[in-house]
Amino acid sequence: MAGSIAASAFFPGSPAPAPAAPKNSLGERPVSLDVRGVAAKPGSSSGAVRAGKTRANAAVPKVNGGKSALADGEHETVHSSVPKTFYNQLPDWSMLLAAITTIFLAAEKQWTLLDWKPKRPDMLSDTFGFGRIIHDGLMFRQNFSIRSYEIGADRTASIETLMNHLQETALNHVKTAGLLGDGFGSTPEMSKRDLFWVVSQMQAIVERYPCWGDTVEVDTWVGAHGKNGMRRDWHIRDSMTGHTILKATSKWVMMNKVTRKLARIPDEVRTEIEPYFFERSAIVDEDNRKLPKLPEDQSTTAAKYLRTGLTPRWADLDINQHVNNVKYIGWILESAPISILENHELASIVLDYKRECGRDSVLQSHTTVHTDCTSESGETILNCEHLLSLVSGPTMVKARTMWRPKRTNTQETVISPIL
């Protein structure tokens, strides 16, 4: 016994015979079971044969770095021994079932997203579209959602944000109507003649300022202004309540892109734009919120403020290579005292553009504050005169603004949409 054990230690290729399985009560040996628990046939010993062949192949050297000489013959024998039936040629049903399950789960997820109901109905509004033509093709409407980066220190949208919405709807109106040439708001006939629009005057009356998350609805339309100009009006409402947020009107003239001088409207251009004229005013003469006349005597009621060294950045220039008209508003308010900005909000503004501003201009902002005006509700209204000019002297923009005390429920208005 000891000798056989020692021999097996040095010669592993000749293992000791396995002990015989005990017989059952009938004198028969137990039926062998495979890994699935199914009784294997007595004559079926393919598993043991394959295991022995595997061990034998391991001892056979490979020829020319490839498979062993015996391996190819063995594989051919194994494959040829398996009968080709219809079932064996079918695909793996488990993989097919897994693919079908994945498709159904993805479809269910998409359906859940479509059936999703937001807590705020205004979240379903189309805030990313280019708007649409309404009122028999004479008016353009577009929605905007107030972003977090468009609000100021008082948690409401700034006047520059609202003015940018006005400009965006004006350009999208031209684009949607099919009148956009290769310029910035220029029609095809204007582009042929190197003409583009410039704003000469603008007036805006702000009823209230929207908050972060609010959706505003902007309507705009155009009309004739004299013999050589065009008028554009806007009306901004709250898309949920329909309450007015802002009304604005503006006057536009043409400028030659090469000579930088004002030009008359060609007949071809007039033919393009006249079918879209809509004789309707956003700010009527009977509006009692119209800017009051400033007192002539400014000796005792006026305070003057000055801010110098204002220069345009590269980002302030538009496609026409001059400063965007909204940027002037920011420069005008640069000279307003901080006490007004902290305790009052801009109720209205009138802008009179005198000349364009280039990228190399250096400007200064003047503000004169008047404090002797009182509104109908008894609130003290501040009226300011503004002058934006080059350091060398020429006037760029004249403006008048009216300021009312900030409302106490501003913070409550901001927090409520977030809940």
Instruction: Kindly compute the dihedral angle of the four CA atoms of residues 270, 272, 274, 275, in this order, to the nearest 10 degrees.
Output: 160
Tokens representing residue 417 in the block: 């949409």
Q: Is 306 left (phi over 0), alpha (psi -120 to 50) or beta?
A: beta
**Residue 369's beta-bridge partner residues?**
303, 384
Cα–Cα separations (whole angstroms), residue 18 to 14, 15, 21, 35, 42:
12, 9, 9, 20, 18
Which residue among 173, 211, 225, 320 is the active-site one?
320
Per annotation, catalytic residue among 173, 322, 344, 386: 322
Half-sphere exposure of 378 (CA within 13 A, CB side): 0
Tokens of 278: 């809509």
Compute the C-alpha angle 118/119/122, nearest 5°.
75
Say which of 357, 366, 370, 386 is annotated catalytic: 357
Helix (H) or strand (E) holding 16: none
357 part of the active site: yes
Residues in the chain: 419
Q: Which residues have C-beta within 8 Å of that of residue 307, sequence separation ≥ 6?
A: 334, 335, 364, 365
Q: Spell 172-204 as b/e; 16+ CB within 10 A means b.
A: bbbebbebbbebbbbbebbeebebbbbbbbbbb
- DSSP code of residue 151: B
Q: Which residues are catalytic?
A: 320, 322, 357
